[in-house]
Amino acid sequence: DNIYVDAIYLDNNIKEEEKEVQINEIDYVESTYLNNEEQVYAVIQANNTAKAFVSLYKDDTLLREKAVTLVKGYNSISFDLDTSVSGEFNYELKISSDDDTSKFNNSYLFNQAVSEKVKMLFITEVESDKQAAIELYGDTCEIDFNNKKDVPYTIEDLSKYDEFVLSNVDIRNLNNYSQFIDSLD
């Protein structure tokens, strides 16, 4: 029916003489920044000891591969993800083993977005804080400085920022400070 099934989880319905490996789950960060160290963690289940290859593909190109010996039960495997280029990338984690009854649960698809720079809202009442922030963050951040009482306060306005820094500012002096705090929550 043209329905893609990411994984079929098998559990107690496997006969003892059959051998099965499967990717149960993965954990990764969906959105990150250029040159940030990121990994994908996979939980692979085997009902017997098995030799396997675990491969990581990025946009249909093999990125990394490991030869592993799986033990009966749950196995943890991790790979470094490529964050050297900004953009949105499609990954596929695959496991292959000769000792495997079903190949339909041996692949897991996921996406990761890599942004070029962190977008930061820096609120301060002290002008020297601006220079300190530039020295601290360098060119890794795109910083919007605000030294006025009118700051963005709606969820829509704040959602374009990745980080918020308040430095040497009494938040109670900002216009709409309670809405600002509520939107951050």
| DSSP secondary structure string for all residues of 39-73 | EEEEEEEESS-EEEEEEEEETTEEEEEEEEEEPSE
What is the mean predicted confidence (pLDDT) over 141-149?
81
Check residue 125 and give left, alpha or beta (phi > 0: left; psi -120 to 50: alpha).
alpha
- The counts of H helices and E strands in the chain are 3, 11
Q: Could you report the per-residue pLDDT of 31-87, keeping only the tens digit for each? A: 888 888 999 999 999 988 999 999 999 999 999 999 999 999 999 999 999 999 989
Which amino acid does the sequence have at 86?
S
With pLDDT > 70 as the criterion, what percentage of the chain qualifies?
93
Quickly state the pLDDT bin for 102 (edges 50, 70, 90): confident
- Statement: residue 143 has pLDDT above 90: no
Kindly report the CA angle at 150 between 178 and 157, in degrees rounded to 5?
75
Q: Where are the beta strands (DSSP E) in 16-162?
A: 21-27, 31-33, 38-46, 50-58, 61-70, 73-81, 87-96, 107-115, 118-124, 141-146
Q: Which residues pair with 144 in a beta bridge?
A: 121
167 burial (CB, 10 Å; 0-12 / 13-18 / 19+) is middle
Taking alpha carbons only, the member of 96, 168, 158 closest to residue 129 is 168
Cβ pair 55, 62 in contact under 8 A: yes
What is the structure's pLDDT at 33?
Answer: 85
Which amino acid does the sequence have at 107?
S
Q: Order the strands of the 163-167 sheet from edge to edge.
A: 141-146, 118-124, 163-167
